[in-house]
Structure 1
Amino acid sequence: MSEFLHTPKGEKKPQALGVLLLGLGAFLLVCLISHSPLDPPNSSRSVAESLNWGGWIGAYASYGAFAGMGLAAYVWPALLLLWGWNRVRCQPVVLAVQRSVGLLLMAVFISIATGLPDYSPHTAYALGGVLGTQLSLDFLIPYLGRLGAAVLLVALFVVAVILTPGLNWRLLAWLGSGLAVVWRLLGQWLGRLRGLLPTRHKSKAAKWERDETAMVREMRPEISAEPRVEDAAPWKPMVEEVDAVEPRVQEPARVERRARKKKKEPAVADAAMPEPAAKKEHADPPRKPSGGRYKIPSPALLDEVSASRSRVSKETLLENAKLLESALDNFDVAGKVVEVSPGPVVTRYEVEPALGVKVGRIAALSDDLARVMSAKGIRIQAPVPGKSVVGVEIANQERETVYLREIIEDEVFSRSDSKLVMALGKTISGEPCAADLAKMPHLLVAGATGAGKSVCLNSLICSILLKATPDEVRFIMVDPKVVELTMYNDIPHLLVPVITEPKRAAEALKWAVAEMEARYQKLAKLGVRNLSDYNAKLASVQAEAAEDGVEPEKPLAYIVIVIDEFADLMLTAPAEVETSLMGLAQKSRAVGIHIILATQRPSVNVITGVIKANFPSRIAFQVASKTDSRTILELNGAERLVGMGDMLCLPRGQGAPL
């Protein structure tokens, strides 16, 4: 025991070991000071091109130290120097052990403290490392909050300073002043080194800076302060609504006439997207679009619209209208059916109540009317927005299949200039319906299992793939169920392969937040307010930048984040996922990042109030209860849908769903 506590003065081995430890500590300190993010493993530089003063080994050593503990990584050279000095002076080993434990505890507290502020993900990991950031985000902040965690860490740091032998406040002040002197000398040395650079490099850099400043100054007055057309309502009106005084049945034959005029093309069954010729290995994220000219797939790859489609006859519609009027009369509600709108799944009968009849009386008769009409389900819209009638939606006995190709080939989709236009289906009157994700700007899709949510999600994705190239739109897809979105793994639009692990999904959302912040910096640099203006300005100055020898910036693509089962992510990492989603939902519209959330469990702990506030556009499929319907749409109605694709769409800025 005495040999462990005291090292004999005459032995040379401990002193030799001490000199070796002092050398290693000094080498590691030099490596940390000269750390560069351009060195491996962050880049593909060769060993000979390493910027670290410690070479290739120093680059990897500094990367590992900073990645683990952030700024607190300087504790490792401090420990090596401490043990080296202990061995050279032949001091008791137990003293070095006690001081090492104290230094490690203080370093851990510093690492956690630097991860407490609400930085962007890249900044948080750079300051606190994996250790500090994960402990602060996963443990301290959820239980104590940022202020409580900061108070606790300060107290623990003071306790560690008091209990560490040979360490007092005077020593800390001396170390701080010494570091300040070293920092000042290092700055002076770097300034002299910068002065030795060739003058031609400095003049060229100054010229680039002047040209860039002038370019931004010239473009800034051109920014329009008037509201853009893109801020209009994203949902296009599909059908003219005309007040009628007598019952009439709309003829949904426009699509058939247009289909007969088109030239028939061969259809490929069971194919929503073209299969790649050969599978390629997935590169590390983010992926780059493949070289060469990309050809947008043809709608001919989709299933062709069937010629033999079941339609509700006009006689049946008129008979049901008379039966509905008779049923209302039996319940002492006077009203007249003034218009019938047959749709693919349900038919809406517009009832005009007599004077003095409250619409609430008709709305309360939904179950009784379903019994009298022998219908699978009835949904009452009282009143129909913009009309003085009550809509009684009755499910058809035979539903009509809605083909994606039919919506894609319709002018409401094909004439849209947006790269994010999506085919939604058909309205209650049988008219094709499409919406622009760029104007939503985020979409929430929810419904029970088997209600058609996954089919809708695939239709939305395929709509964008049939409209945009990989240079125009990129995807980040999250599929915790593994089987829903993995079919898209080989498309060139993906930034990363389809993510199936919730932890990786949280990291992808953090990357998206960092990308959003970087894009805002680029927009501010050119003095524009949104992605379309940025790409337009960039195209006008690319030729000028090439003439000056400056590599022109590339246009930015839209990024669509698709999350199939959001409930699984909220159960695994709720704090990280919700924080990242809120940052994206609140700020990402201007920089071209849009989110599509889908879940089959629309409960309040999954679709929180904060999420609903930032997702104004929503699609609800059939749900089990009125509570779930109110969670999604803030109103009842989704519980009375008939399933298998029947849905309600709540556009941004509208109080009633379509």
Structure 2
Amino acid sequence: MTDFRALFIGGLGGFLLLALSSYHSTDPSLNTSGSGAKLQNWMGQSGATLSDILIQIFGIGSFVFAFSFIVWGLRLWRRENFGSLWMRSLAILSSALLLGVAGGAIPGGSWSTHASLGGAGGTLALNTMTGWIGSVIGFYPHIIIAIISAIAGIVLAGIGIALKQKEREAVLVTFLSGGAATISGASSIWDRISSTFSRPKEEYADEEYEDNDSDEEEYAEEDEEIDEEQEDESDAPPERIAVVNPNKTATKSAAKEKSKQVKLNLRNQNDWEYPSLDFLQEVPPQVKEEKLDESALRKNAELLQNVLNDYNVKGEIKSIHPGPVVTLYELEPAPGTKTSRVVSLSDDIARSMSAVS
């Protein structure tokens, strides 16, 4: 029974690895328009669908599942105990999410339908985390978050795959040595954090008193400088001061009058009449006779078609629906074109249209 489970889990990992390795963005899947596209996934339709779902959610973090199942199968085949399966599974899921966040900072190119390698889940998580703590980190917050997520994802992957301690250390050292130029400041940050938590409470109290004393000295020096500046200004001849907000006094008096004003009772006045329609201005005749310029609409449609071709989005604009404010261009994607790719490129297409026009 153990051998059967080992073969099943290992075979599932091999299936996922081959399906993810041969993933192609034009393969028919749940979010692909049309059915005429050629299937290029090595594992057939099931492999194309499964790999598309995983990459859409986890991005490059999907490969963690494949490697985990393969290693788990080998461990079971060798009768090795790797602890709680639930904890390993939770570590693998967290690792896939964190590696997807790290992939959100890497451009996806033509391999993925998204703009990055993090998939929808990783890109959304990276943007959310950047919005939360971007002001705290300062410069390039998305890069710093991606690096930290990559390190944490690799550590959790080693724990979830059930690698031994020496194997996990070797993987982590290899990753850190390869990206040492990028994360040169990570060690100093970790040293500061660890030293902060390892220091006794008495040192924090001493530092707080020192900080308060230094702040009081700074405030005293600033007060002396301000007093000296005021004395220098009092010796100088008076200058004409420009009025910045002349409506302050008028606003205060108006507020007082408004508070004293009594509400008028208009409900009991029976002789009140609606305003006459003669106050409205008639529509000029040239506006009534104005018609839509069909040539301009067709020109914009051709321009939109060229922009879509620049982004490698194949399709045909079937109809144009002009409106009072927004004109709707109905696009029918070509077979094999994913609708999610068109949606993800909407902002870039809009910028290109505004730049060309």
TM-score (norm 2): 0.48
Identify the structure with the greater strand proportion: 1
TM-score (norm 1): 0.28
